Structure 1
Amino acid sequence: MKVAVLLESDFYEPELFYYERRFEEENIELDFVTRLWGNSELSFRGHEYGLERRCSKSFEDLSDDDIRDYSAIIVPSGMVADRLRYTEDPKIAPPATRFLARAFSYPSVLKGIICHGALLMTPMPWVLRGRKMTAHNNLLGDLRNMGAVYVDEDVVVDRNLISGRSGAQCQKFAHTIIEHLQSNTRNH
């Protein structure tokens, strides 16, 4: 199994550290992907401690087959989603939003959105319309404006979408993702 986690500056370090340890324990390969802006590699700083993380894999280079190779794609907490919402042309959805919308078109790929990660989908609200979700309290209006159905729980599962309230619940969120992936593997 393979999981992709979107990356940008202002990521929440404890969350990413937890994913690295926890997914490795389950023999799940973890890739960090970002928008590289034509560079071969970029460095990003964390929000809590200012720790640096380098990334050399662009989601813009991923083909549909590459996306389907992932068991799950995670939009983490922190300000990653907000930073990835930038688009050069305001008439076109941001590349990261288009990437995630492509992932949503593949039911076999689990999507994980935690905390402020839902911000990434505001340019394409129809992707989340009618889906049960939780998010950080600051995003309740955004969820409702996108037509998502807010559920007041730490982690919510709606078919192939798992949402988490905040980075503080990343352990529960990761556990739910792993459980879902292992269940799907056993059933196939």
Structure 2
Amino acid sequence: MPATKGVIGVLIEDHFDSTEFRAFNEYFPAQGYQVEYLSHLWGQPELTFGSNPDDGTVDDHVTVTTDVLHVDPSDYAGIICIGAYAMDRLRYQPEVSGPNARNTAPAVEFVRAAMAAPGVLVGAICHSLWLLCAAPELLRGRQVTCAHNIVCDVESAGAEVVYAGSGTADLVVDGELVTAKHPEVTGRFMSTFLEEIGARALASR
């Protein structure tokens, strides 16, 4: 199926989750959406990032040529923060100015703009809410889910983590933010993400 419905921008850096990466590359194009990987390129024309070495080797690589400094979130149907440790790397600032200072890492500023852009859906899965924790105003008062080991970070940023049984919920939708617990629910995350994009498109007609 040709990718004609729009573009899904995926924020990525080293140590990204392979399960999600492979699923995104298969599912979204099959549903008519192009996948474009975005990152901060530090003045380089391109950078190549590797996946999390879960089995001791880096199995997946992606070369990114699109810098978040040079694109508008409104050009995308949705923005997804990929899981594993990539989003922690993207919130890095070379210099910090003191307690409670605004994080101005380019990817953090980009996701701020995405959350403020009318009609742009933002998705985060597993550890990737780490990026939004660097901008607590984006999480304050929102219902979300995430990996168990970053619950403390997410709650400290002011979000309301939704629990189910003895763990966090698999999937939560709160306005323009879709969050998922773990790579094991990537399929549900992706289908829900596109359902929400479709619902917003219908509402805007």
Question: Does the residue aligned with 1:90 lie in a helix, a strand or coil?
Answer: coil
Please tell me whether Structure 1 or Structure 2 has the larger radius of gyration of its CA atoms: 2
Q: Give 1:27's aligned amino acid.
A: G
Which 5+ residue runs of structure 2 have no aligned equivalent? 1-5, 164-168
Q: CA–CA distance in 1 between the matches of 2:36 and 2:62?
A: 12
Deviation at 1:183, TM superposition (A): 2.3
Q: Which residue of 1 aligns with 2:61?
A: 52
Q: CA–CA distance in 2 between the matches of 1:4 and 1:157?
A: 19
- Aligned partners of 1:79 and 1:116 also within 8 Å: yes
Q: What CA RMSD, in Å, does the superposition of the two structures yield over aligned residues?
A: 1.3
1:20-169 matches, within 5 Å, as: 20-47=25-52, 48=54, 49-50=57-58, 51-62=60-71, 66-91=72-97, 93=103, 94-152=105-163, 153-169=169-185
Q: Which residue of 2 aligns with 1:17?
A: 22
Q: CA–CA distance in 2 between the matches of 1:35 and 1:69?
A: 17
Q: CA–CA distance in 2 between the matches of 1:159 and 1:123?
A: 20
Deviation at 1:179, TM superposition (A): 1.2
Deviation at 1:123, TM superposition (A): 2.4
For 1:30-75, what per-residue CA distance to the aligned partner results, in whole angstroms no more than 9, with x for missing partners? 110001111111111111351221111111111xxx3112111000
Superposed structure 1 runs of 4+ greater than 6 Å apart:
none
Q: Which residue of 2 aligns with 1:182?
A: 198
Q: Give 1:33's aligned amino acid.
A: L
- Aligned partners of 2:10 and 2:80 also within 8 Å: yes
Q: Give 1:111's aligned amino acid.
A: V
For 1:2-22, what per-residue CA distance to the aligned partner results, in whole angstroms no more than 9, with x for missing partners? 110001011111211101111
When normalised by structure 1's length, the TM-score is: 0.94
Q: Give 1:173's aligned amino acid.
A: F
Which 5+ residue runs of structure 1 have no aligned equivalent? none
- Aligned partners of 1:107 and 1:160 also within 8 Å: no
Aligned residues: 185
Deviation at 1:79, TM superposition (A): 0.6
Q: Which residue of 1 aligns with 2:3?
A: none
Q: CA–CA distance in 2 between the matches of 1:184 and 1:125?
A: 25
Q: CA–CA distance in 1 between the matches of 2:125 and 2:115?
A: 16
Q: CA–CA distance in 2 between the matches of 1:185 and 1:106?
A: 14
- Aligned partners of 2:87 and 2:130 also within 8 Å: yes
Q: Percent identity?
A: 29
- Aligned partners of 2:133 and 2:139 also within 8 Å: no
- Aligned partners of 1:35 and 1:58 also within 8 Å: yes
- Aligned partners of 2:78 and 2:122 also within 8 Å: yes
Deviation at 1:83, TM superposition (A): 0.9
Question: Does the residue aligned with 1:44 lie in a helix, a strand or coil?
Answer: strand
